[in-house]
Each structure stands twice: as structure tokens, then as C-alpha cells.
Structure 1
Amino acid sequence: MTRTSFAERWDLDPARREVLSTIVDGLASAERVIANAEAAKAMLLKAAQDNGLEILAEMGAPSGWILPVRAIAADIAVATNASDRTIRGRMDDAAVLIEQFPATFTALVDGRLSRGHATAVTEEGLRLTDPDARGRYEQLVLERAAGQSPGRLRAIAKAVAEECDPTTIAERHEVAFARRKSWVEAREDGMGVFCLLTGATEARAMQNRATSLAITIHRANRADGASEDERTLDQIRADVVADVMLTGIPSAHVADESGGNALAAIHATVQITIPAATLTGIGDDAAFLAGHGPIDPDTARRLAGGATLWSRLFTDPDTGCLRTVDSYVPTAAQKRFLRARDEHCRFPGCRRPVMRCDLDHTVAHSAGGPTAVTNLAALCRAHHLLKHYGNWTAHHGADGTITWCSPTGRTMQDVPAPVVRFIPSDDVDPPPWDGDPPDF
């Protein structure tokens, strides 16, 4: 499809603003109704399961004999055009939500959370078997749930669950790492999936390096103008991984001007945030890996020991704010701080990784906006364009909070993570802006 460049800011006239405001209000109201309906479904599913369990108890049947529950699930499945296995799973999910996460269920009833939000809270909190720890977890997560997308809320819930879990991540990681393996899953049409279960740091580093290699190839193919390579970035990334696994090198897809392999110099870079007490060995709090979440302290300390592939950020133990950055170049340090603070695109609900974002002046530089951390934020290309040409405005607070105002006048805040966790490799910058709007 041919794309043409067009960049002109548009504004809403009062009449159209009112029409769109009514539409947005209607959709928000519909979401609250849907959430309430999901809560009603959960109550009915739990009631159905409870009835089956009561029948079992009245019969004096052993606990493993669940035929009444299965029969009731099959009845519901036929009535709702679903499989009985699916209904049984939904019964279990409903029981977990209502019994173990009552505050989350109440928020669903009230329409303050969607089913997706509730699922994120319950799935990340299930590992907390102690009722007090689970209650504290639920309270902390719900306090931060307002205005978050399900994806962002899941990241918050993962971090809070780690904080509330009485079992250390080092103990859990030792057990989990012993289960590392690789396997292949067959797919239709001659395709297959190669799967690898390994440490989070290794997995993230492999994905980052594959992405860096793929971007280099993609840019080179566009730059020479003669290439007929029409592969997408995903396709190139898959090909690079296959090359490395089968030949030990990423293959000479791209040669530099001297005739060498331009891909050989690209390395994976991941970043972790390490509490100072963990780094010095006097504490065992979890470190945080970008795009994943908590990792065990032994791995974090080993990576912080000077390996050139790892950038290091150090946080204040009291505030969680960035204390120092592993760089002596001020401009690089500023860039690293911003990317570490933001982690992802700062448009509400967007989780596009910061390494794929632009660093945007909230107040345009041409309008006198300073190049300072209090006036810079990561925005993915789509939302960068939306800010400049889509009638959205942003106000940058001194603490990094960005207040957005929509075309219909609604305001919402995007608050940076309280603990800095990640910056991407400086080797990979977003592609140059050619003026064409990206696909949303």
C-alpha cells in the first residue's frame, strides 16, 4: 500500500467535540456495564460450582469424584455455546476471584476494573498463599489501578507480588532454573515453534540482540535502494535467530563498507535495577529486569560485576529514585536517565518498549522548551505523531508525571514507575522519521 506524507495539526470544532465526547462517554459507560456483567457471570459460575460441590458433600462422595460439577459445567456449556472444559476453568477462576480477591471482585462489580484488569491482579497474586500477604498485595495493586491498562497493571502487580512474597526470589529462581529446557512444537503448513525456557536475563538479552541485528539489516536494505528484500522486521528477526543457532553466526545478510560483517559488532544489552543493599551483599531484595520483572539477587550481583554488556543503574534505598548512572558523558547520562525512568511510551496505556521510542520535548524546543529531564519523555512514533498532530496536549510535572488532555477535553495522568528498572542499549536508536504516519 502506497503511503503519502501528510502532517498537519487538526482541531475539533465545538459541535464535533460534543459529538465525540458523547461517543467516548457512551463507550466508557458500556465498559462499566460489561464489567458489571462479567461480575454477574462470575457469581453465577461460582454458584454453579458450589451447587455441584454441595451435591458431592450430600452424597458423601470422595473429593476426587467430581461428576456432579462436570455435569453442571456441561449443561452451562451447551447453553452458552462453549466447551465444558472451558466452563470448568471459568468456574475455578470465578471462585478464586470472589473468595481470594474480594476487593478486586468488588471493583469489577462497580465497573472500576475490567475483566482484563481483574485477571491480571488474580494471576499475579495467586502465588501468595498467605491470606495477609495476599490482602496487602491486593490493596497496594488496587491503589495504583486507576487509569492503567491491563498490561501496565500486570507489570505493577508483578512487582508488588514480589514485594509481598515471604519466599525470596533466590529460592524460587533456584527451583525454576532447574526446569530450563528447549523443545519444538509442531504447527500447520510446515511450520514449527522453537521454544527455550531459560533465565529471564538470558532470554531478554537474546531477544534484544536479535532485534538489533534485524534492525541493522532492515535499515541497510532500505538505505541501498536496490534491495528487493521485502521481509518484515519480525521475519528478519526469525531468520537471524535461525542463522545463529544453525551456523553460530548471524550470516552475512549485511556487509559494511569495508566488506566486513556489520552485524558482528552488535551485542545484546539489557538493564537491571539493583537495590544498593543487594549490590553490596547485605540484602537479598530482588533486582528488576526490563520488560520482565524481578530476578534473583545472585544473578543481579554477577551481572553488575563489570561485564561490558550490562549497563548499571543504582537506586536510593529510601526513595527508589535514580542515584547514579553508569556514564561520565552528561548527554548520555541524561538520555539514560530518561529512558530508565520511563521504561516505555508515556502515552496512557501504551507499553511499547522505550528502545523503540523517541525522546520528545513536551514543550517543543522551537517554542522555548528546554532539553531537560523535566521536559523530555519517551513516546512511541505513533503517539509522538498523535501529540504533535492529533490535538492531544501534554503537561510535564517536575516529578515526571505527564498530564494528558484529549481532543474532547478529558485529562489523565501517566505516572512513572516508582522504582527505575531499565534502559535499552544505546546501540539501537529508533528509525529516522520520514514524515509518514506509522500504523496504529
Structure 2
Amino acid sequence: MSETFLPELPQELWRAGKLELAYGVRQFLRVMRMASAGLGQLLAEVESRGVKDLYGYGSTVAWFADVAGLSSREAGPVVRRAIALNPTRALDGTEVPPVAPATAAAAAEGAIGDHRIDQILEFLGKIPAEVSPEDREYAEKTLATLARKAGPRELADAEAQVLGWLDPDGKEPKDPEPAPPSREVTLERRKDGFWKLSGLLDDELGARTAAVLDAYAKPRPVDEVGQADPRSKAERQGDAFAEVLDLAIACPDQPGTSGYRTLLHVTIGLEELKSGIGTACLDFVGALTAREARLAACDCLMLPIVLSAAGEPLDVGRLRRFVTPGQRRALNIRDRGCAFPGCHRQPKHCHAHHIDHWADGGPTDLRNLVLLCGFHHRLIHHGDWEVRMAADGLPEFTPPQYLDPLRRPRRDTLHRAA
């Protein structure tokens, strides 16, 4: 073993420049790695001579743990690493070559540390037994050379490529039947009326879910007044989740809804629903405002429940479909997507909005319907924008006065240009 000296530290570290500090860290790191390699050579020699004969211990791990003040779990990797990197001797005196000689050389120079050594040794354990010694030696030498400068991820990528070259077919699966996916979802209603969604998805479903949410959670483009999407990433993903649910509910084969977007049990007085003042109960699970009930009722199945002043159900009306499948197809052809100016949403992401609301006597026909995405649907119901049907049979929108003092009507031009 070569004699190694520790580098000298400046007497006053606070005076050292950034280059001196970096150089000092690299020097001490190299010394530590070289010392670890020298320790491994000693441990390999103890293993070769027999620790029981030398010191009376049952294993080199137990002896080293006692000497170093370590637990057996801490001492084990150090001894196993030493045996893998250094030559040892069998009981008959014949030499047993190291498992990773090129890695051992890099470690002796202080070029790589314990973590990269363990990474290479783990890779060597994955090489099939039928691979020739020459190919195995070449693979180990290639990775040891790369590990001198590469990080863990780059080395892992190289290992995957080398393993693919050595064993292109991979291991034969032991069980031809794949294990069932592990998926858990929990939905709980909190006391404040919000719902808490949590779960655990397997890798495949998690990747699919992330891809869908990313596709629908993209920020809205800058609008005509230059305002960017103010929503956070979490808020955009929440809105994306709502859109995905809308798509699922609108599927004709979806059980329980038959393609209807919402089944709304309206337990509210008729006058309150018309005025938009008051509260309603949605599907008997919680309260929502009358304005929210009006929004949901634009494109849904409505089951009106008339209550007395004391809350007694007086009459349960018939289930009524407001927008028929034929009307929806005609809307898709006419508006070609969300009709709000500057919106790029496609028809499948849109609701059918009643311009004159049905609760106010508005009819369910094409002259009174317009496609709106979820965001702009809510904006029309709760904001200062207004929508009307122009003389040519196409919808146009009047902006609030703070956006345009003259309140000149606007139309969507994106879908028409397309």
C-alpha cells in the first residue's frame, strides 16, 4: 500500500477563497476513499488467513464490528466490499481473484467511493451466469471507467444499456400470470362540505393519471386583455380532474347515468331557484347555493322536488332531460367548441348552457343554447359577462364595462378559423 498524507488545512478557514475550499473538499474526499480502499485490503487479508485462527472470532464481520465499534449490519457491507475488490485465498492456498478488479483500481486511486462501488457490484450480480468471462470483464471495466466522472443516474443508465447488450432477452418470468394491480382510493366528506380525495396508484395507473391530468391542466392562454391564467398548478389539476369526470359521466356506456351529465335532485323552493337566492341540496349529500344549482341544471337530468314552507315534500316531478342527444350534436356542429371569445376547448369538454335559463321560462332549443367549457360556464353564471344569440343564429358575448366601456359584442374566432 502506498503511503498517503493528509492535506493541510489553512489555519483560518474563513480566509480561504471558494477555489481553496473546493480543492480542500476534493483532496480530503480522495484521501478518505484511498483510506477506505486500504482498509479493504487489510480486511481481505484477514479473511484469507482466517479470522478464527487469528483472533478467535467466528467471522470477519463480527471481528471488524468489534474493532470498529460498529453493529454487524454496519460492518457487513464494508467487509463484503473488501472481499469483492481484493484477491483472497482459498483453504488450499490458491488465490481467488477479485470480483471487480477495474473497480478496485479506481477505488485505490480515490476516484470512486463506496456508493458507486456498491452500484457496480450490484450490477455485476445481475449478469447471467452464461455470459462469458471476457464479456463480463469488459462490462465491469467499462462501468469502472465511467464511474470516475459519472453520477449515479448516468451510471445506472449505462448499466441498463450494458445489461441489455449482455442479456437482450432478459430473465424468463417465473410467474406467467402478472400480479393484480394495487390501487386504493378513498373519498371522504369533511364537516366543512369539501371532499377529501386520497389514494395510492400503481406505476402504470399513476403514469396514465398523470398524463391525463397534465393534458387537461395546461394553463389557459393569455386572454384578449393580456391576463395570464391565475390558477396554481394544484388548482389547474383540480379543474382537470373535474373535466375528466365530466367526460366519464357523459359516456353513453357509463353505468348509472346513461350518458347524462348530472342527475340533480333539487330540494329547493321554486321561487328561490328562480331568483338564485337561497340554498339547495344536491343529491341529499350537502348544501349548495341556488346559483350553483342553476349552473348544474343547464345540462343535466332534473328531478324537481317541491317543498312546503315546513320542508315537507309536496310533489316529486318527473325526470326531465333538458338537452337531447340530437340537440347536443347540432350544438357541436354549430359552435365547434366553447363559444366564449378566445377559448380553444373542444365540444367534448363543454356544457350546454341555457342563455335564458329554464327556471326563468327559457326554452330548450338551439336558439337558446350555447356550448361553454366549465370555466366560462361558471363565468357567465357568476360574472358580469353576458351572452346572447345574434341575428345570424350565432352566439356573441358582451364583456363587462371594466373591460370595454362601450361593451362591444365579441365572438369566438378560433373554431371558425379552424
TM-score (norm 2): 0.37
TM-score (norm 1): 0.36
Say which structure, 1 or 2, has more relative contact order (CA 8 Å, 6+ apart): 1
Higher radius of gyration, 1 or 2:
2
